[in-house]
Structure 1
């Protein structure tokens, strides 16, 4: 009869990279049997796991390192570092889905109605999927000015001389395009298409030329 260890236990075993072909599998308890093939419960795996736990260590199933118990969340077999890396990778590969989940979650959280800044942060997070840091990064990238007309803007809600730039987004897809001053943002919303904007621009230039004659 052919005796083989249970594959799932091998993958989680501390002897994963060792040659275990010489182990006496025929003497170990049988887990399941199919004709002449038998899957056994490896006693060496149990011994190795107990040794690791006796030292206060636990093996991560992803990086396969023996780490202290505090490196794991309760009842998890993947260490915190690997879970964090896996989460970051998933968020990067599924950004649209992640932002949709964040929006649904943020909508359930009621903002502090006595704190205007907190309301603003909650609004841009729930509506556009942007954090305050994302907003500041866009502001710096645009040269601290409106992306359309170049008029200087502010990120300080208390600055009355330069109002805070508005977040412009595609109403069809929800994609954030940039930061605009109030007049440009309102004009873009009214004109809706670049064709309409070009028509208005041509009209204004025509009459500016006529008035200069």
Structure 2
């Protein structure tokens, strides 16, 4: 007996396997709806003037490419925390390989740092500094404790007995 379930998008009863991706991941919508959504999204991107970079900056941070470039210039093209110049940061490809075979876009070398509470832009950081702030969950107290830890005297280890 073939099992089926209702698609969360179109409401049609579809075979259970049409809700599974190539890796076995389960989806709420059927394969036909996912493919349709992919085509619509691609057509929307193709019809939109401007770059994906501009779209990403606006969608995520509500800033323009011009503002991002002005901020880079204002910071001397350096990370606002460690001061590394963006030319010294290895250029990496962004994301997974594209299905259409086109090369992936180069990732931003300096990423936009923002307050997760207010969404206010704080500056541009290298990936390492941005990740570090993320690991500290933007907590000033946790960063102070980390500074105290780094400034503390290292532990003394008793010498090993020679056998």
- 1:120 partnered with 2:53: yes
Alignment deviations for residues 51-103 of structure 1 (CA, whole Å, 9 cap, x no partner):
xxxxxxxxxxxxxxxxxxxxxxxxxxxxxxxxxxxxxxxxxxxxxxxxxxxxx
1:151–1:181 CA contact under 8 A, matched in 2: yes
Are residues 202 and 181 of structure 1, via their aligned partners in 2, closer, same or farther at CA, if it must alter by over 3 Å? same
RMSD value, Cα:
3.6
- Partner in structure 2 of residue 97 of structure 1: none
Are residues 157 and 184 of structure 1, via their aligned partners in 2, closer, same or farther at CA, if it must alter by over 3 Å? closer
Shift of 1:165: 0.6
For 1:129-148, list aligned pairs within 5 A: 129-148=62-81
Larger radius of gyration: 1
- 1:197 partnered with 2:143: yes
Alignment deviations for residues 149-201 of structure 1 (CA, whole Å, 9 cap, x no partner):
111125x99678x9611100111111111001101101111112111111101
For 1:1-213, list aligned pairs within 5 A: 112=45, 118-154=51-87, 164-191=109-136, 192-207=138-153
2:53–2:65 CA contact under 8 A, matched in 1: no
Q: How many residues align?
A: 99
1:165–1:179 CA contact under 8 A, matched in 2: yes
Give the Cα–Cα distance (whole angstroms) in 2 for the partners of residues 151 and 199 of structure 1: 24
Give the Cα–Cα distance (whole angstroms) in 2 for the partners of residues 158 and 187 of structure 1: 19
Structure 1 residue runs without a partner (length 5+) = 1-107
Alignment deviations for residues 29-64 of structure 1 (CA, whole Å, 9 cap, x no partner):
xxxxxxxxxxxxxxxxxxxxxxxxxxxxxxxxxxxx
When normalised by structure 2's length, the TM-score is 0.50
Structure 2 residue runs without a partner (length 5+) = 1-40, 94-106, 158-163
When normalised by structure 1's length, the TM-score is 0.39
Point out the structure with the larger helix share.
1
- Partner in structure 2 of residue 98 of structure 1: none
Considering Cα pairs closer than 8 Å and 6+ residues apart, tell me whether 1 or 2 has the greater RCO.
2
Q: Which runs of 4+ in 1 moved over 3 A?
A: 110-113, 156-160, 207-211
Give the Cα–Cα distance (whole angstroms) in 2 for the partners of residues 163 and 131 of structure 1: 14
Are residues 118 and 196 of structure 1, via their aligned partners in 2, closer, same or farther at CA, if it must alter by over 3 Å? same
